[in-house]
Amino acid sequence: MAKVIDGLYYAESHEFVRVEGEFGYIGITDYAQGQLGSVVYVDMPEEGDEVSAGEDFGAVESVKAASDLISPVSGEVVEVNEALEDEPELINKDAFENWIIKVRLSDNAELDALLDAAAYEAICK
């Protein structure tokens, strides 16, 4: 069973958001990285870009497939995880620690539409 962490918000498209104050750290879930296999490339937006809930913001490529990244929330990208540029496989080591982008949340109400850990776990079965 894939790891699911309480206290995070999950999208049905297998992205997570960890909220810290006005910021959200977005990445793919442990379940998603397990389905993809060995991650070889992460396409990320630029700092200063805007992302919108439900819209693509990049992609993750693995030896098996490429998968679009769908933003679970809207906001401004304030940081990208530069470590993933040189070591995209960090996502396979710990998907939750190796977030992809950090955004300044523009609408906290969007979090209400996301899944909690129990609901996300149920769709992964």
d(Cα 75, Cα 73) in Å, to the nearest integer? 7
pLDDT at 88: 98
Mean pLDDT by 10-residue block, N- to C-terminus, for the chain (125 residues)? 93 98 98 96 98 98 95 98 97 97 98 98 94
pLDDT at 125: 87
Q: What is the CA radius of gyration of the chain?
A: 13
Which domains does the chain possess?
A: 10-109 (2.40.50.100)
pLDDT at 5: 97
Label the pairing between strands 75-80 and 101-105.
antiparallel
Q: Which two tokens stand for residue 89?
A: 């496989």
Q: Which two tokens stand for residue 65?
A: 């497939």
DSSP state of 115: B
pTM equals 0.97
Q: Is 16 helix (H, G, I), strand (E, B) or coil?
A: strand
